[in-house]
Amino acid sequence: MATKTLSSTCFLTLTFLLLFLVTGHQALNSAPYPVVVSTWPFVEAVRAAWRAVDNGLSAVDAVVEGCSACEELRCDGTVGPGGSPDENGETTIDALVMDGVTMEVGAVAAMRYVKDGIKAARLVMQHTEHTLLVGEQASVFAISMGLPGPTNLSSSESMEKWIKWKENHCQPNFWKDVVPKGGCGPYHAKDFVGLYDETCSNTTPVGNIRSSSHIGLHNHDTISMAVIDTMGHIAVGTSTNGATFKIPGRVGDGPIAGSSSYADDEVGGCGATGDGDIMMRFLPCYQVVESMRLGMEPKLAAKDAISRIARKFPDFVGAVFAINKNGVHAGACHGWTFQYSVRNPDMDDVKVYTVLP
């Protein structure tokens, strides 16, 4: 009797051990890491990040590799140099990188004459105790830390675009409630009665009313990327050259942690794209990660973050992707069809997912 009990106990233990080994092995096979997720079908950028992380580089370094690839390729003309001229025809760069392990962030905004946005952001994170450097001083910092420059960030395409816009009386633009002296400004607040001529204001095009209208459907505007490395650590990054024909000095959501991207090693990450002037008021990526922390699935967390903005700005155009620590990813969008790209160990190459509003 005792022997029988012992042997059945042994059998049970062995069965459990076998089961454990089998399921453990399966879990290993379908390990979600490493994984790369990016806004838009920026396939080459995802491949670059994948190569880096698959070769054992950290999530931070892989994000930098991926976003750098987009800057070099000038993904859609709206990342890196040579795109999105401001009202003066100048291209400037905004970028951010965030380490989800340490919650360190490095960012540059309105950086002139230096094309390597994401690398400059990493230098801020790794070699300063600051989070965000801006404008000309960010350029001086980046160059002093070894990045190439000063470089002319304009291209023949961006100059051509800008000249056409000038010829079209500087329309569309980002002004509201103003009266320009002449077609393109200088602009004056309407309240300053007497500073402008009524008859003139009726014939001259003035500020645009809705800013979202210029975040065009073909203007894919921003790369935001998340990488989970083989250690299970997460990092995110963003790079953009901002809104086309922006008022000089404008900084959007790109270099704002929690808005364009956000990551916490304990939870997961998020990347955003769209009308940054509106999105940065809602910190959608912070919202996504915090919702996932409270137990929401990525899909619901992404939808919730977008619908919070849409309730207040029904015309806004934007999207987010979310990824949790199990490698589960999802996207949500408003006002346009969104695509995001993924590469994980189950895939032979980058896969592009389409999300409808």
Ligand X SMILES: *[C@@H]1O[C@H](CO)[C@@H](O)[C@H](O)[C@H]1NC(C)=O
**Residue 155 C-beta: closest distance to ligand X, Å:** 6
Q: Nearest residue by C-beta to ligand X?
A: 152
**Residue 49 C-beta: closest distance to ligand X, Å:** 30
Task: Choose between 152 and 168: whose C-beta lies nearer to ligand X.
Answer: 152
Is 252 labelled a binding residue? yes
Phi, psi at 216, each rounded to 5°: -65, 160
Question: Which residues of the shown chain bind ligand X in the complex (CB under 6 A)?
Answer: 152, 154-156, 159
Is 274 labelled a binding residue? yes
Task: Choose between 145 and 159: whose C-beta lies nearer to ligand X.
Answer: 159
Task: Choose between 90 and 99: whose C-beta lies nearer to ligand X.
Answer: 90
**Residue 154 C-beta: closest distance to ligand X, Å:** 4
Is 146 labelled a binding residue? no
Q: Which is the catalytic residue, given 39, 78, 92, 222? A: 222
**Residue 255 C-beta: closest distance to ligand X, Å:** 24
Is 315 labelled a binding residue? no
**Residue 160 C-beta: closest distance to ligand X, Å:** 9
> CA 215 to CA 139: how far, in whole Å?
26
- Cα–Cα separations (whole angstroms), residue 307 to 168, 284, 290, 323: 35, 10, 15, 18
Task: Choose between 140 and 300: whose C-beta lies nearer to ligand X.
Answer: 140
Task: Choose between 155 and 201: whose C-beta lies nearer to ligand X.
Answer: 155
Cβ(181)–Cβ(196) below 8 Å: yes
> CA 219 to CA 214: how far, in whole Å?
9
- Cα–Cα separations (whole angstroms), residue 350 to 9, 65, 79, 140: 48, 16, 20, 37
> CA 157 to CA 178: how far, in whole Å?
29
Active site residue 222: yes
Is 276 labelled a binding residue? yes
**Residue 90 C-beta: closest distance to ligand X, Å:** 9
Tokens of 127: 């070699």
Task: Choose between 81 and 274: whose C-beta lies nearer to ligand X.
Answer: 81
**Residue 78 C-beta: closest distance to ligand X, Å:** 17
Task: Choose between 131 and 155: whose C-beta lies nearer to ligand X.
Answer: 155
Indicate the burial class of 174 (C-beta count within 10 angstroms; 0-12, 13-18, 19 or more): middle
Active site amino acids: 222
Which parts are annotated binding residues? 250-253, 273-276
